[in-house]
Amino acid sequence: MWVRPLCETAAGPLHSVNVAICGKGFLPPMTIADQVTGPTIAGAAGTKPAAAKPRTAVPAITLPAIGERELRLDLFRGLALWLIFVDHLPPSLLTWFTIRNYGFSDATEIFIFISGYTAAFVYGRAMLESGVVIATARILRRVWQIYVAHVFLFTIFLAEISYVATRFENPLYTEEMGIMDFLKQPDITIVQALLLRFRPVNMDVLPLYIVLMLALPFILWSMKWRPDVTLGLSVVLYAVTWEFDLYLSAYPNGFWAFNPFAWQLLFVFGAWCALGGARRMSRILSSRVTMWMAIAYLVASFYVTLTWYVPQLSQFMPKLIEQWMYPINKTDLDVLRFTHFLALAALTVRFLPRDWPGLKSPWLRPLILCGQHSLEIFCLGVFLAFAGHFILAEVSGGAVMHALISLCGVLIMWGVAWVISWYKRVADKSGAKSKNAVGNADLAGGG
C-alpha cells in the first residue's frame, strides 16, 4: 500500500526529506481517530519517494493525516494472507490457529476490508489530486494486474487437476473423479474461466476483488460527493441482495461463491473508514459500551463455533436459536459474520494502538512485509497451497510433513515479500535518478 499519488506529481523523489515535505503539505490535525485508522503516505523507513503538492479543493472527504505509515493495516493484511494460506491447506495442527475456528468471520473479511480501506486511501487521493479520469485509469490498470494474476493461478490449477486426473485411480473415489469431466470440454471451460464464470475451489477471492475494484471509481466518485450517502447506498444494495436474492451466475451452474453484491458492503465500509469515517466513529469506538458489546458478541460466537467441534455441547444450544441462525451464509456475507468482523475490528483498534512499539519489532516484520505486497503474496499463497497439497498427496502425509509444508510456505511468502521490497527499493532508487518512478502506487493499491 505504498501511497504515492499524492506526492508523485512533483518531480524527483528524494526520500526522507521529501517525505517530510510531503507530510507537511497538508497535515490535518491529528485526532484520536487518526491514531485509530489513519494509514499514511510515505514509507515506514522513509524509503518511499515523495514530494508535495498542496491540496486545492475542499472535498467532502478528509484523508487521514500523513505521518508514519500505518503498520497495523499491513500487519493484519499479512496475517490474513497467512491465514488464508493455512486455511487452503488440508486441516492440520496449524489450522487450529486460524480465526475461523473461533468465531463466525474469517481471514476473507479482514482481507476485503483492508483492501477497501487501502484502495480508497490510495486512489481516493489520486482522485483528489489528479482528477477522476486519471484515478480511474490507474484503478483499471490495477484491475488488469489482478485479472492476469487470476488467470495465472487458473493455469496452475489446470496443471494440477490434469495431473491428478491421469495419475490417481483409487477405486474408493471413482465418483469424486467426476470433477475431471470438465477437462473433456476445454473449449468451453477455459473461455468461461477467462470470463471469471468458471472458478475452481479456493480461487474465488480474486474475481470478487476484480469486481469490487471495477466499482471503485464509482464508489470513490460518490464518496467524494457524500461519503455517508455512499455507505447508505451500499447498505441498501446489501439489503436488496438479501431480499431479492441478487447474484452473479457461475459456470457450469450455481453462482459466485462470494457474492459481490453482498461483499461490497465490507469493501465500501473499508473505503468509508479510510476517507474519514473512522475519525467520525472514534467516539463510538472508544466507548466502554461498544467494547463490552463487542466482547460479549465475540464470546457468544466463540461458543457457537465450539458447538461445531464439540458436538456434545450442541445440546445446550436452544433449537430456536439454531434454526434462526443457521445456515451462516458466507456467500452473501451473513450479518452475523459482518458483525463479528466489526466486533473484532473495534477491539483491535482499541487495544492495539497505532503507535504500539511491537509493530516495529523484528518478530512482526515478516507479517508486515507480506501485508505490504498483498497481491503478489496472495497469489503465491494460493499457489503454495496447491503445491503443498500436491506434495502431501505424493509423499505420504504425516503430521511432521504437514507442519513442515505449512512452515515452509509461510517462510517462502516472507522471503518473496522481502525480495519484492528489496527490488522496489532498488528500482525506486534508480527510477528516481531517471525521473521515471511512476508505477509503484499501483502495486501499492490495496492489492
Partner 1 sequence: MKAKVLLSLILLCGSLTAPTARAGDAAPTASAAPASCDLPAYLLTSESPLPKVAAAVKAGKPLEILVIGSRSTTIPSSENSSYPARMEAILKEKLPPSGVVHVSVEIQSKKTAEETAATFVKLMEAKTPTLVIWQTGTVDAIRAIDPDDFRSAVTEGVVALQSAGTDVVLMNLQYSPRTETMISAQPFLDNMRVVAQEHDIPLFDRFAIMRQWNDQGQFDLFSPSRGPELAKQVHDCLGRALAQFVIDAAHREPAQQQN
- Residue 408's H or E segment, with its range, is helix 399-433
Q: Which three cell numbers stand for residue 101?
A: 475456528
- The candidate with the shortest Cα–Cα distance to 340, out of 76, 118, 106, is 106
| Beta carbon nearer to partner 1, 18 or 108 | 108
| Beta carbon nearer to partner 1, 69 or 402 | 402
- Work out how close the CB of 296 gets to partner 1 at its nearest, in angstroms, rounded to a whole number: 21
What distance, in Å, lies between the first and last C-alpha atoms of the chain? 8
| Beta carbon nearer to partner 1, 160 or 432 | 160
439 touches partner 1 (CB under 8 A): no
**Distances, alpha carbon 341 to alpha carbons 99, 114, 125, 321, in Å:** 11, 12, 26, 20
Q: What's at 306, amino acid-wise?
A: L
| Beta carbon nearer to partner 1, 326 or 422 | 326
For partner 1, which residue of 62, 160, 221, 302 counts as binding (CB under 8 A)?
Answer: 160
Residues linked to residue 255 through DSSP beta bridges, in sequence order: 249
Tell me which stretch binds partner 1 (CB under 8 A): 120-128, 184-192, 249-257, 410-418.
249-257
- Site residues for partner 1, window 161-180 (CB under 8 A)? 161, 164, 167-179
| Beta carbon nearer to partner 1, 4 or 88 | 88
- The candidate with the shortest Cα–Cα distance to 371, out of 413, 428, 423, is 413
Rounded-to-integer distance, Cα 147 and Cα 154, Å: 11
DSSP state of 54: -
Question: Nearest 5°: phi and psi at 249?
Answer: -80, 155
Residues linked to residue 249 through DSSP beta bridges, in sequence order: 255
# residues near partner 1 by CB under 8 A:
56
Rounded-to-integer distance, Cα 114 and Cα 271, Å: 9
- Work out how close the CB of 235 gets to partner 1 at its nearest, in angstroms, rounded to a whole number: 23
Rounded-to-integer distance, Cα 238 and Cα 332, Å: 9
Tell me which stretch binds partner 1 (CB under 8 A): 122-130, 146-154, 245-253, 293-301.
245-253
315 touches partner 1 (CB under 8 A): yes
396 touches partner 1 (CB under 8 A): yes
228 touches partner 1 (CB under 8 A): no
159 touches partner 1 (CB under 8 A): no
b/e 412-421 (16+ beta carbons within 10 angstroms → b): bbbebbeebb
| Beta carbon nearer to partner 1, 164 or 237 | 164
CA 223 to chain CA centroid, nearest Å: 20
Q: Which residue has the cell 483409487?
A: 170
| Beta carbon nearer to partner 1, 198 or 269 | 198
Rounded-to-integer distance, Cα 254 and Cα 207, Å: 15
- Site residues for partner 1, window 117-146 (CB under 8 A)? none
For partner 1, which residue of 202, 286, 339, 421 counts as binding (CB under 8 A)?
Answer: 202
322 touches partner 1 (CB under 8 A): yes
| Contact characters 350-389, partner 1, x per CB under 8 A | -----------------------------------xx--x
Question: Which residues in this chain contact partner 1 in the complex, by CB under 8 A?
Answer: 88, 90-93, 96, 157, 160-161, 164, 167-179, 181, 200-202, 250, 252-255, 257, 306, 309-313, 315, 319, 322-323, 326-327, 331, 385-386, 389, 392-393, 396-399, 402
